[in-house]
Amino acid sequence: MKHKYLKNVAMLDVSAQKCIGCGMCTEVCPHDVLCIVDNKVQIKEKDSCMECGACAMNCPVDAISVDASVGCAAAIIKGWLTGSEPSCDCSDGGSCC
C-alpha cells in the first residue's frame, strides 16, 4: 500500500535546471516520490513525501530542497506514529495542527 500524507503540505522542491540526471534521489527515496524524465528530476507523488531529506542529502548538485523534520506535517506524522497530540510549536502557547 502506498503512503500518502496531507495534501500539498510537503516542503519539497526540485530544480530541473540544476539536475544532472544521476538518479541518486530516486534510489534513496523510500516512497518513490521522484522520477527522472528526459534526464531531469520530477516530482511524481508529492503527497507521498515524508520530508526525510534523503534525496536532498544525496543530491550532488543541490537540486532538491526539503525542510526535513520541521513544520506541521512532521508534527502530525510524529503524532500518528507516537499516538501523541501533534504540535509543531509554531503558535504561541498551543497546537496549530
Which residues contact ligand SF4 (rule: CB under 6 A)?
12, 14, 19-25, 28-31, 33-34, 36, 41, 49-55, 58-61, 63-64, 66
Fill in the DSSP letter of residue 86.
Answer: P
Instruction: Output the smallest distance, CB 6 to ligand SF4, in A.
Output: 13
Instruction: Output the smallest distance, CB 32 to ligand SF4, in A.
Output: 8
Residue 66 or 75 having the CB closest to ligand SF4: 66
Instruction: Output the smallest distance, CB 92 to ligand SF4, in A.
Output: 29
Can you read off the three cell numbers belonging to residue 52? 526525510
Instruction: Output the smallest distance, CB 76 to ligand SF4, in A.
Output: 15
Residue 24 or 97 having the CB closest to ligand SF4: 24
The answer to whether the CB of 53 falls within 8 A of the CB of 68 is: yes
The answer to whether the CB of 28 falls within 8 A of the CB of 52 is: no
Can you read off the three cell numbers belonging to residue 93? 502557547
Q: Where are the beta strands (DSSP E) in 1-97?
A: 12-14, 34-37, 40-43, 64-66
